[in-house]
Amino acid sequence: MELSRRDAVAALAALGLGGGAAAMYTRRDGGDDGDPQSGTEDEEIDVRDDHAERVAVAAAEVLYPSQVTGVEQFVTEFLGPRLNQDGHGDGIREAVGIVGDRAQRWYGAEFDALDPDRRDQLLREMGVDTADEAPDGTDAERVRYYLVNDLLLALYASPTGGELVGIENPQGHPGGTDSYQRGPP
Amino acid sequence: MSGQGSASRQDRSPVTDADVCVIGAGPAGALVADHLAGAQDVVVLEAGPRFDPGDRVERQERAIRPAFDRPDVWEMGGERDDHAASGEWFYPLNHARVKGVGGSTLHWQGMVMRLHEEDFASGSERGVGPDWPIDYADLQPYYADAETELGVSGADDNPFAPPREQPHPNPAFPPSYSDSMFADACDELGIAMHSVPNARNSEPFDGRSECVGYGTCQPVCPSGAKYDGTVHVERAESQGATVIDRARVERLAHDAEAIEAAVYTTPDGTEHRQEADAFVLACGGVETPRLLLMSDSEQYPGGLANSSGLVGRYFMDHLFAGVGGVLDEPTRQNHVGFLTSESHQFYDEADEEVGPFKLEFFNYAGPSPVELALTGDDWGDDLLDRLQSEYGNHVAVGALVEQLPREDSYVGLDPERTDDRGNPVPDVHWTVGDRALRTIQRANGIQRSILQELGAEITWTVGPDDTGPAYHHMGTTRMGTDPASSVVDPACRTHDLANCWIAGSSVFPTGGAMNPTLTIAALALRVADAVDAALE
């Protein structure tokens, strides 16, 4: 089942980042602002956000069910405005840094360079699978909150994610008032 | 995200020459202010902030994510909202109330039905509890007005409802798929189902969106389709009313006959006095008696408006009863966060032994897949397998049950604990009587029969041993004709003070088993008429 741009927009809308907020996010490569000035703080953030996107896509490839396709585009579309969100974006960058640090220390490679089984293993070794999400918690709890659960929330609050489970209008998605009246498709 | 909307009035100084001071900007205070604004100079003092409507989707994320508890959604909790619960039944006071412009309607479910005629005459008709000093006919025109004000979506298909005089402003939401499954079972059992009046727009109404199905009605509606008190606060302001947020009224200065001023503090700690000709207390069933009790004086050592000694007494709530289970087929739950079908068939069978109750057919039985996905130690294919296994075939029937008023169920002041302003915190000493517990058993029996007829495997029951409150705070400044046995008169004016009215469910002598907000709204409109007449 393919994730579409509509799914990413819907996931963003469920988090208060629809419409203007999504449109305001401009990528340096292909965005309206063009290339950043060399050596500026903006460039530093852009480099970190490129890294964050690669790590998030690599994580999603492990976190999302195997029948889902279009993960890279979905995660990229979702993550951009999320990284721009006050406070939350920094939390994502920090979580990505934690995961990257562990990958380098334990396996001598970037997280996104590890094969999927190793990525899965790394997250479990960090205790992210058994951690409760907490934005101000331990490393595992913050990774769970800002990276793992952010990506799971994006997927399962989207129409395609909902359909995987059997619900066309999942909680958080403003999918109207028709589907609750209908029987199973 | 913070509780400071862009429209907040930065100047929190008192309004000069105010005719009416309304304390509390929840639905009751908002309706009173709107009704009086224009004709009177109205000022509203609200303890909490004016929330930014643009933050609602972010609040929705808080509602979904397990990192946040329910009170976090609207920033309840902490020293400001500290409370005690000394009764035999613990009362989680902050779970479902909101301090802020709009009050607890920011959080509420939005079910709005009229009390039945017999609810106004419990003592006469059911042989237990007091009669109200007003009857259904007294309130009926105000019910109609309240339905218009709240934009209620409903239908005239309830054979057990009291008489109506006009259609609801919006059509009812159609029944759900699972309602149709219940209908077959209920037909077999001779149980009539009917629509639910909802204070959410089934069509665009009053400049607000129709429901778009976010599915998080309780605790937050991002679209604004669900009515909340901000609607009438904003309308009151457009007519000249002044709303001061984060103005915490700590006592009511008074002489023997009347309130002189509401004494409030602002966030910087400055104390102000808001004077007015008339005062309307609309702080809910807990904070209204708390404010009266905190306003004690030499003249009134037991608290203001408390010559009866009953301020805070007779605290009531509705109790929940429920039975749930699973079927071997899809039931299509959690697409929306509101109910579309109920049954009031057994409501008027109430007597001394068993109270009134209504049945609710859930549209959100079982887990929400989104919330489920954020817990557990699995992901990938294993998580999807779990979600598919745990979502999709749940059913449940709930019920609201009446609790009788009891003097030993009360809201008092905790002598040991104070809030961040040094004021005693409210102590909700909740006591539930045997009649309510028998009623829960009766409701459980019918609920089980429906699920069994449906062919469901019953997996849970909320019965007398594990019931909980519906967060409907009622009864603590009861209405009556005798100043010795009630706090306010039939016009909701305090017996003791000529310029003090109370708007809200604290005046209910009995609670019935209907969600209280439509009755709160109807009484608020009636209070507004009384205040207006008194000031003429």
Q: pLDDT digits over B332-383, tens only?
A: 999 999 999 999 999 999 999 999 999 999 999 999 999 999 999 999 999 9
State whether B323 and B452 are in the same domain.
yes
| CATH assignment at residue B490 | 3.50.50.60
**Residue B477 forms part of a structural domain:** yes
Please check the confidence at residue B405 and state whether its pLDDT lies above 60.
yes
B233 belongs to a structural domain: yes
Interface with chain A: mutation pick from B58, B374, B390, highest number of A CBs within 10 Å: B374
In a domain, residue B268? The reply is yes
Among A15, A130, A176, beta carbon nearest to B213: A176
The more confidently predicted of residues B200 and A13 is B200
CA neighbor of A145 nearest in space, from B63, B376, B65: B65
For residue A27, what pLDDT band results from cuts at 50, 70 and 90?
very low
Taking each continuous run of H as one helix and of E as one strand, the counts in chain B are: 10, 18
Q: Please give the share of chain B, as a percent, with pLDDT higher than 90.
A: 97
Mutate to test the interface with B, among A165, A169, A173 (most CBs of B within 10 A): A165
* Tens-digit pLDDT profile for residues B464-489: 999 999 999 999 999 999 999 999 99
State whether B308 and B335 are in the same domain. Answer: no
Residue B381 distance to chain A (closest CA, Å)? 4
Task: List the single residue in A with minimal CA-CA distance to B391.
Answer: A165
Q: How confident is the model at residue A185 (pLDDT cuts 50, 70, 90)?
A: confident
For chain B, say whether A61 makes contact (Cβ under 8 Å): no
Separation of alpha carbons B464 and B441, rounded Å? 7
pLDDT at B1: 63
Q: Does the beta-carbon distance from B55 to A16 stay under 8 Å? A: yes
B209 falls within a domain: no
Q: Does A45 touch chain B (CB under 8 A)?
A: no
Q: Which of A139, A121, A141, A122 is nearest to A131 (CA)?
A: A141
Q: Give yes or no: residues B191 and B323 share one domain.
A: yes
CB contact under 8 A, A156 and B369: yes
- B352/B441 same-domain check: yes
* B27 in the same domain as B9: yes
| Alpha helices, DSSP H, located in B246-283 | none
Residue among B184, B340, B378, B384 with most chain A CBs within 10 A, to mutate: B384
Tell me the average pLDDT of chain B.
Answer: 96
User: What's the Cα-to-Cα distance from B515 to each of B29, B199, B287, rounded to whole Å?
Assistant: 18, 12, 19
Higher pLDDT residue, B352 or A25?
A: B352
Distance CA B153, CA B168 (A): 6
A87 touches chain B (CB under 8 A): no
Q: Taking a C-beta distance cutoff of 8 angstroms, is the pair B45, B34 a contact? A: no
Q: Angle B11-B12-B18 (CA atoms, 0-180°, nearest 5)?
A: 110
- What's the rounded Cα separation, in Å, for the pair A30 and A39? 19
> What span, in angstroms and rounded, lies between the C-alpha atoms of B514 and B516?
6
Q: Based on the domain organization, do B35 and B126 belong to the same domain?
A: yes
Q: Which pLDDT does position A15 carry in this prediction?
A: 83
Which residue reads 């598919």 in tokens?
Answer: B388
Alpha-carbon gap, residue A133 to B68, rounded angstroms: 9
Distance (Å) of CA A75 to CA A53, A81, A121, B173: 7, 11, 21, 36
Q: Among candidates B141, B47, B56, B30, which has minimal Cα distance to B97?
A: B47
ipTM for the complex? Answer: 0.94
Yes or no, beta carbons of B223 and A174 under 8 Å apart: yes
Measured between CB atoms, which of B56, B332, B388 is closest to A165? Answer: B388
Residue B456's alpha-carbon distances to A110, B22, B369, B395, in angstroms, are 51, 50, 21, 8
Chain A interface includes B29 (CB < 8 A): no
For residues A99 and A150, give the distance between their C-alpha atoms in angstroms, rounded to a whole number: 15
Test B67 with A165 for CB contact under 8 angstroms: no
pLDDT of B8: 53
Establish if A134 touches chain B: CB-CB under 8 angstroms. Answer: yes
Band the pLDDT of A3: cuts 50, 70, 90: very high
Query: If you average pLDDT over residues A9-38, what whole number do you get?
Result: 58
State the virtual CA torsion across A173, A175, A176, A181 in degrees, nearest 10: -110
pLDDT at residue A40, as a whole number: 64
Mind listing the pLDDT tens digit for each residue in B246-303? 999 999 999 999 999 999 999 999 999 999 999 999 999 999 999 999 999 999 999 9
Task: Please indicate whether, in this complex, the C-beta atoms of B60 and A166 are within 8 angstroms of each other.
Answer: no
B411 lies in some domain: no
Q: Does B331 touch chain A (CB under 8 A)?
A: no
Residue A87's Cα: distance from chain center in Å? 15
Judgement on whether residues B337 and B389 belong to the same structural domain of the protein: yes
Q: How confident is the model at residue A24 (pLDDT cuts 50, 70, 90)?
A: very low
A120 chain-B contacts, CB cut-off 8 A = 380
Of A100-109, B7-16, B217-226, least confident by mean pLDDT is B7-16
List chain A residues with CB under 8 Å of B57. 13-16, 18
Place of tokens 């469910």: B505
Residues B336 and B309 in one domain: no
> How is residue B126 annotated by DSSP?
I
Closest CA to A125 of A137, A113, A109, A143: A143
On chain A, the residues whose CB falls within 8 A of the CB of B215 are 169-173
- B253 is a domain residue: yes
Q: Mention every residue, 6+ apart, whose C-beta is less than 8 A from residue B83.
A: B93, B94, B286, B414, B425, B426, B427, B428
Residue of A nearest to B54 (CA): A16
Q: Which of B422, B442, B466 is the last residue in one of the domains?
A: B466
Q: Which residues of A touch B55 (CB under 8 A)?
A: 16
- Specify the residue for token string 């508890």: B69
Interchain contact A168–B (C-beta under 8 A): yes
Q: Does B363 sit within 8 Å of A13, measured CB to CB?
A: no
B233 and B271 fall within a common domain = yes
Which of B:367-386 have CB within 8 Å of A? Answer: 368-371, 373-375, 377-381, 383-384
Tell me the two tokens of residue A2.
């393919």
Q: Give Dmax (Cα) for chain A.
A: 58
Give the nearest chain B residue to A86 (CA atoms): B1
Q: Residue A45 has which token pair?
A: 């953030």
Q: What is the SS3 assignment for B410-437? A: EEEEEEEEECCCCCEEEEEEECCCHHHH
Chain A CA closest to residue B180:
A181
Cα torsion B193, B198, B202, B208 to 10°: value is: 180
Interchain contact, A184 vs B381, CB within 8 Å: no
pLDDT for A10: 87
Count of beta carbons in the 10 Å neighbourhood of residue B18 = 21
Residues B445 and B479 placed together within one structural domain of the fold: no
Q: Does A38 touch chain B (CB under 8 A)?
A: no
Which of A121, A133, A149, A171 to substitute to test the interface with B, most B CBs within 10 Å?
A171
Cβ within 8 Å, pair A166-B330: yes
pLDDT recorded at residue B6: 41
Integer Cα distance of B325 and B185 in angstroms: 14
Q: Is A5 exposed, middle or buried (0-12, 13-18, 19+ CB in 10 A)?
A: exposed
Asked if B24 contacts B226 with a C-beta cutoff of 8 angstroms, the reply is: no
Cβ–Cβ contact A125 with B under 8 A = no
What is the number of alpha carbons within 13 Å of residue B141 lying toward its C-beta?
3
Domain count, chain B: 2
Looking at B466, B481, B516, the residue that finishes a domain is: B466
Q: Does B204 touch chain A (CB under 8 A)?
A: no
CA distance A78 to A11: 7
Q: Is A21 on the interface with B (CB under 8 A)?
A: no
Convert the pLDDT of each residue in B170-195 to its tens digit: 999 999 999 999 999 999 999 999 99
Q: How far apart are CA B439 and CA B511, in angstroms?
A: 14
The H-assigned helical ranges of B19-105 are 27-36, 56-64
Q: Which residues of B touch A173 (CB under 8 A)?
A: 213-215
Q: Tell me which chain A residues have a C-beta less than 8 angstroms from the C-beta of B330.
A: 166, 183-184
Q: Is B83's pLDDT higher than 70? A: yes
What pLDDT was estimated at residue A30? 41
pLDDT band, residue A73 (cuts 50/70/90): very high
Interacting residues of B455 by C-beta distance below 8 A, sequence separation 6+: B327, B328
Across chain A, mean pLDDT equals 88
Inspect the interface and report whether the beta carbons of B369 and A171 lie closer than 8 Å: yes
Q: Where are the beta strands (DSSP E) in B178-258?
A: 194-195, 242-244, 248-254
In a domain, B276, yes or no: yes
Query: How many residues does this entry show for chain A?
Result: 185
Q: What is the mean pLDDT of residues B70-82?
A: 96
Please check whether residues B359 and B450 belong to one and the same domain.
yes
Asked if the Cβ–Cβ distance from A65 to B368 is below 8 Å, we say no
CA distances for A133 relative to A128, A144, A149, B323, angstroms: 9, 5, 7, 31
Tell me the residue range of the domain where B448 lies. 171-196+319-401+433-466
Mutation site for A-interface testing, chosen from B1, B61, B181, B210 by largest number of A Cβ within 10 Å: B61
Task: Determine, for residues A149 and B65 on separate chains, whether the beta-carbon distance falls below 8 Å.
Answer: yes
Q: What residues have CB less than 8 Å from B422, skipping those under 6 apart?
A: none
What gap in Å lies between CA B135 and CA B132, rounded to an integer?
7
Q: What is the pLDDT of residues B419-455, one digit of tens each?
A: 999 999 999 999 999 999 999 999 999 999 999 999 9
Do B245 and B270 lie in one domain? The reply is: yes
Q: State the nearest Cα–Cα gap between A166 and chain B, in angstroms.
A: 7
Q: Which of B58, B332, B362, B383 to mutate against chain A (most A CBs within 10 Å)? A: B332
The reply to whether B417 falls in a domain is no
In the predicted structure, residue A38 carries a pLDDT above the cut 70 = no
